[in-house]
Every structure is written in structure tokens, then in C-alpha cells.
Amino acid sequence: MVEINLLPPQYRKRTEPNVWMYASIGAAAVTLLLIAIPEIVVATQVGNLQRKLDDQNGQISALNSTVAPEYRSLTNSKTTLTAISQTAQSLSNGKTYWSTDLARFVSQLPQSGGVALSALNMHPSAVASLYNGKPASKEFDLSGSALSTAALVNFLNAYDADNYGVNFKSTQRNPETNNYTFSATVGQLDGTPVNAAATTPAAGTSVAAPAPSAPAPSATPASGVQQ
């Protein structure tokens, strides 16, 4: 159906464009754009940052899978080396110089003579061994003969002082030779200083490995010494 307006032109309703309506629509559109554009920009930046973060996390995971075994291996090596170092330090602090101690013992033999050692056994001291109330680090088990009791007393007195102590065991007179056989134990007291010059070999020389026992040295008996 076609509608025909039969009113005269002056009475017809005129339709004119509404400027304010268009302006409101435009303003709303601009406002929406101003709000949407920053949101879009921020969302894009957040997305980019998230992708970078995911990429970095992936790289960190890959590095951890590679570095973790090496780190555990290095940690285990450090623990092993620390234990070895502590053991070596303990052995170094507690090391002893058997040859030097034996040489010092022999050098302290009385010069007056009158005593001959038939046996000498050097060994670590027993736990409960005390000499003049002091513990010893090594012991020298001695047996031998003396021309007289005075020579025997002089011999024992040489080790009953300074860094030694004496536990006398027994003596007996031999009626055939008129000598006195004896047995005693000399203890080297703890803390006996070791001469570094005597224990450090010179260049080009070698030192035999220390042994807990050694052949018995003998003191040359002085002729004509009797009680």
C-alpha cells in the first residue's frame, strides 16, 4: 500500500536532521575508541610479555635439566675431596717419625758405657701406659746387661728425665760373668718435639719408611768398671 499525504504543503510535517543526535552518537563512538585502543594496546603488550616469560621459563627449564646433574656431580666431588682433605690433615697432624725417634733414643745412650743392649723393641704406647704420671706416645722395650749396678743406674737415669720416662722391670746378677742382666721399658712422652731438620731429607736423598721395631743398638761397655 502506498500512503499519499493529501495535506497542503504548509500543513505537512517536516522532518529535518537532528544534529544533537548525530553529535551524541559520534561522541559515544569516539569515547568507545578512546577506551578500546589503550585496552587493545595493553592487552597486546601483556600478551607479548607473557610469551617472552614463557620462552624464558622454557630456557630455564632446559638449563636446569642440563646444569642439575653437573651441580650434583660437583657437590659430590666437593664432599669427597673435603673428606679426603680432612683425613690427610688428620694423618699429617698425627704422623710420627720412627727413624728420628730411634736416632734420638740412641743418641741419649750414656757416654760412660758399662751397658750393652741385647734387644730393643720400639712400638706405639699402650693406652694406659704412664711414665711419672704422664702418657707416652711410643715405648722402647729393652733388655741387656750391665757391668755393674752403678752402670745400670746411670743408664736408666739417662732416660728418666726430659722427654722420657722409665718403667724398670727386673735385674739379675749372672754369677758366671758377674754382670747384671736387666729388662725395662722406656716411654717417649707425648709432645716430644721433632726436629724438622732431622726429619726432612735433603735434596737428592731418600728416607726409608719408618718401622715399629728396630735392631738393638749396643753401648760399648767401659773396661774396668765395677761396683
102-145 pLDDT tens trace: 888 888 888 877 898 899 998 888 777 788 788 888 899 999 99
Q: Right CATH number for 109-189 from 3.40.980.10, 3.30.70.2830, 3.30.9.10, 1.10.357.10?
A: 3.30.70.2830
C-alpha to C-alpha distance for 165 and 186, rounded to whole angstroms: 6
> What pLDDT sits at residue 7?
66
Q: What are the two backbone dihedrals, phi and then psi, of residue 51, each rounded to the nearest 5 degrees?
A: -65, -40
Which residues is 144 bridged to in the sheet?
A: 117, 182
Which ranges constitute the DSSP H helices of the chain? 19-94, 98-107, 149-159, 196-199
In this prediction, residue 203 has a pLDDT band, given cuts at 50, 70 and 90, of very low
163/6: higher pLDDT: 163
C-alpha to C-alpha distance for 202 and 106, rounded to whole angstroms: 22
pLDDT average, residue stretch 70-78: 86
> What pLDDT sits at residue 141?
93
Contact between residue 121 and residue 138 where contact means Cβ atoms under 8 Å apart? no
DSSP annotation of 199: H
146/211: higher pLDDT: 146
| Domain limits, the chain | 109-189
Place of cell 551524541: 24
Which cell numbers hold the place of 168?
Answer: 724398670
In this prediction, residue 17 has a pLDDT band, given cuts at 50, 70 and 90, of low
